[in-house]
């Protein structure tokens, strides 16, 4: 543990306990000293080294919060503190519930169509929101989607913007050029787009392709490239790319409603690099129409809520972008 429990950070937040840790960071439960009933998540990284990704992530949150009136999209950034005694950077965030990864495992690694359609619709809206503020997420996966608490317990929050990319100029709205931002692999290879594998600069279509893979994963319980093993991470990424390229869409979506194949075809084959996705079409024509056609009630309930389990213990992402390449 980098921070002892009981200490006060920046004269504002008391460290209660460690929530989790990863290769590059730790997350603690904290409480406000001025309002003890207010719990927060303290996301911490060491000051040592050249990469201070929390500072960049903070700037992304600040850009997005200009339009975050609807609290069902991203967690609220409450503060950013540098503690030179413990030599750490600390980002203070709204405390959220368990991740979709947690609930996926609690539901025997499969979600119902009803739950997947609700996840798809909410995530399309979340992605539209960050895209409209000129960012792509770049690391979409179940661990980076958290459920809200209390009144927001059925709302999905998109977190972890350490790998977010600004794809256009805020003033001119001019899209970056094709190929700009080519770099070594960053993010997760399980749900990353084919263009990501090829090293093409990220654009909005890549987030949607990643979302499609994730929804298929939720319905099937796995993807053809799940569990790939190799001598090193580079070879794992290469094998996953080969499987993505060699698996036809109709094979990947076999046995699923045709809407999922249409969604993947749209993201892979119809969207150009700089094109703005038709979010309304995807939400209404694909997801909502299928939801209604399937006869599901509009009750907002997700699979784990049907179990009538107690309120989950809060959780927040622990730098998953940097701790794993293929999960």
The structural domains of the chain, with segments of one domain joined by +, span: 15-31+38-96, 100-307
**Residues in contact with 185: Cβ distance below 8 Å, sequence separation at least 6, in sequence order:** 192, 196, 197, 199, 237, 325
Residues of each annotated binding site: 43
pLDDT band per the 50, 70, 90 thresholds, residue 323: very low
Q: What is the pLDDT of residue 171?
A: 80
Say whether 104 sits in a helix, a strand or coil: helix
**Superfamily of domain covering 15-31+38-96:** Phosphorylase Kinase; domain 1 (3.30.200.20)
Say which range, 5-9, 40-44, 50-54, has the weakest mean pLDDT. Answer: 50-54
Binding site listing for ATP: 43
Q: The tokens 């960071």 sit on which residue?
A: 25
> What is d(CA 121, CA 137) in angstroms, rounded to the nearest whole number?
17
Residue 156 buriedness (CB in 10 A; 0-12 / 13-18 / 19+): buried
Among the listed residues 132, 139, 151, 299, the single catalytic one is 139
Using left for φ > 0, alpha for ψ between -120 and 50, and beta otherwise, residue 148 falls in: beta
pLDDT at 186: 63
pLDDT at 241 over 80: yes
242 pLDDT above the threshold of 90: yes
Find all residues with CB under 8 Å of 270, minimum gap 6, and list them: none
Range list of H helices, the chain: 53-64, 100-106, 113-132, 194-198, 204-220, 233-246, 249-252, 258-265, 279-280, 289-293, 320-323
Contacts of 264 (CB under 8 A, 6+ apart): 209, 212, 213, 216, 249, 252, 253
> Each residue of 22-51: pLDDT tens digit?
767 899 999 999 999 999 999 999 998 767
Averaged over 55-70, what is the pLDDT?
83
- Fold assignment, 100-307: Transferase(Phosphotransferase); domain 1 (1.10.510)
pLDDT at 181 exceeding the cut of 90 = no
- Is residue 196 annotated as a catalytic residue, yes or no? no
**What percent of the chain is modeled with pLDDT above 90?**
75
Q: Could you give the CA distance from residue 10 to residue 168 in angstroms, rounded to a whole number?
A: 35
In which residue are the tokens 């599901």 written?
296
Beta bridge partners of 91: 43, 80
What pLDDT band is residue 6 in, cutting at 50, 70 and 90? very high
Mean pLDDT of the chain: 89
Calculated CA dihedral for residues 35, 59, 99, 191, nearest 10 degrees? 180
Residue 218 token pair: 């939720």
pLDDT over threshold 50, residue 321: no
pLDDT tens for 123-180 read 999 999 999 999 999 999 999 999 999 999 999 999 999 999 999 988 888 888 877 4
Distance (Å, rounded) from C-alpha 174 to C-alpha 150?
40
CA 230/CA 235 separation, integer angstroms: 6
Rounded Cα–Cα distance for residues 161 and 211 (Å): 16
């Amino acid at each position: 543990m980098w921070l002892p429990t009981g200490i006060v950070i920046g004269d504002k937040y008391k460290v209660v306990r460690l929530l989790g840790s990863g290769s590059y960071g730790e997350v603690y439960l904290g409480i406000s000293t001025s309002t003890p009933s207010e719990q927060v998540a303290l996301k911490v990284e060491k000051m040592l080294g050249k990469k201070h990704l929390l500072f960049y992530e903070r700037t992304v949150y600040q850009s997005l919060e200009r339009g975050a009136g609807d609290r069902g999209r991203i967690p609220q950034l409450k503060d950013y503190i540098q503690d030179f005694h413990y030599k750490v950077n600390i980002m203070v965030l709204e405390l959220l519930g368990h991740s979709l990864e947690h609930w996926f495992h609690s539901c025997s690694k499969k979600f119902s169509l009803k739950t997947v359609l609700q996840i798809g619709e909410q995530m399309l809206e979340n992605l539209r929101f960050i895209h409209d503020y000129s960012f792509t997420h770049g690391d979409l996966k179940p661990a980076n989607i958290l459920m809200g608490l209390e009144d927001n317990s059925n709302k999905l929050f998109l977190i972890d913007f350490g790998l977010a990319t600004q794809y256009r100029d805020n003033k001119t709205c001019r899209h970056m050029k094709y190929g700009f931002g080519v770099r070594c692999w960053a993010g997760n290879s399980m749900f990353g787009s084919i263009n990501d594998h090829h090293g093409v600069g990220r654009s909005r279509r890549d987030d949607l392709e990643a979302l499609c893979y994730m929804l298929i994963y939720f319905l099937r319980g796995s993807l053809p490239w799940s569990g790939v093993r190799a001598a090193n991470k580079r070879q794992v990424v290469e094998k996953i790319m080969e499987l993505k390229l060699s698996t036809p869409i109709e094979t990947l979506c076999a046995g699923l409603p045709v809407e999922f194949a249409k969604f993947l075809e749209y993201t892979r084959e119809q969207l150009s690099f700089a094109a703005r996705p038709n979010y309304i079409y995807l939400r209404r024509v694909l997801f909502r129409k299928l939801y209604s056609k399937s006869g599901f009630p509009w009750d907002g309930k997700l699979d784990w809520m049907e179990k009538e389990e107690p309120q989950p213990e809060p959780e927040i992402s622990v730098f998953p972008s940097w701790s794993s390449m293929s999960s």
